[in-house]
A and B are shown apart, each in its own frame.
Chain A
Amino acid sequence: MSRSEGAARAYVRPMRGWWRRNPFFIRYMVREATAVAVAVYAIVLTTGVVRLAQGEAAWNGWLEALRSPWSLLMHLVLLVAMIVHAKSWFEIMPKTMPMIFVGRRRLAAATITRTGWGATIVVSVALFALAFAFSR
């Protein structure tokens, strides 16, 4: 038996579909998939900026496209993805940021996560109120 044949017979663990084998990995991949939603939304907004620059007719076409059932459905998916993104971002934040000490005790991870959520709620309400007042 030649060496190359031996190498060809060596067992290689198949990696295809690895993430479907464990619920932990499925959750990981769902979290990672939210990046695609962020990219899609960035493209939607860029298209809006381009259409706005092209004039009123182009802009109204973009608004009309946003009213289609497919767009509404897509934005519903994007909305869920954005919430999942925010959730995972604030859960990971205590692990990625430098340790904070209050007095001699380390600030708890749950406090950091809750602060993040709190900030998102405040910012969301403020921006929505601004849009509401702006559109009256």
Chain B
Amino acid sequence: MKRSNAPVFWLLFGAGGMLCALLGTVLVFITGIAVPLGWPLAADAMAYPRMLVLAQSVPGKGALFVVIALFAWHAAHRILHSLHDVGIQNGATAKLACYGGALAVTLITAAGLLRVGF
């Protein structure tokens, strides 16, 4: 019997969903609201030198990569199954669009983090 690839996608979906439930809200609040408004965090909290140090450190790089990639794979898996609910067949095209999108986000993030340097 051919081995199913479903557990791989399910694992990425599960890990991403848990990480998103734990971190999603606070991350959106920090990067999208608190820092842009300058309240309650300082407006320069995400200034270039600070973020460069974060992205150049190995733990910072790892955290950024894991968060972004897992969020993308989690969303891709769920969007794929929701497409079926609104009448779009869960075929090769839909799979390619969803998982391909997550793969693109993963590769672009990895490339960016490598380009930032160590």
Residues of B within 8 A of A (CB): 16-18, 20-37, 40-42, 44-46, 48, 50-52, 55, 64, 67-68, 71-72, 74-76, 78-79, 82, 85-87, 101, 105, 108-109, 111-113, 115-116
Contacts and interface: CB of A to CB of B under 8 A. Distances in A.
A116 B74 contact: no
Given A60-B48, A79-B25, A32 B37 contact: no
Contacts of B113: 49, 53
Contacts of B50: 134-135
Contacts of B76: 39
A26 interface: no
Given A46-B105, A53-B112, A41 B28 contact: yes
Contacts of A46: 68, 72, 105, 108-109, 112
30 contacts: A29-B82, A32-B85, A35-B75, A38-B71, A38-B75, A41-B28, A42-B68, A42-B72, A44-B32, A45-B71, A46-B112, A49-B64, A49-B113, A49-B116, A50-B108, A52-B48, A78-B32, A79-B28, A82-B25, A83-B25, A85-B20, A85-B24, A89-B20, A119-B22, A127-B26, A128-B30, A131-B34, A135-B44, A135-B45, A136-B42
Nearest to A122: B22
Interface of A: 15-16, 19, 29, 32-33, 35-36, 38-39, 41-46, 48-50, 52-53, 56, 59-60, 63, 66-67, 71-72, 74-76, 78-79, 82-83, 85-86, 89-90, 116, 119-120, 123-124, 127-128, 131-132, 134-136
Contacts of A89: 17-18, 20-21
Contacts of A35: 74-75, 78-79, 82
Contact of A116 (B21, B26, B116): B21
Nearest to A75: B32
B21 A71 contact: no
Interface of A is mostly: helix
Interface of B is mostly: helix
A86 B21 contact: yes
A46 to B, nearest CB: 5
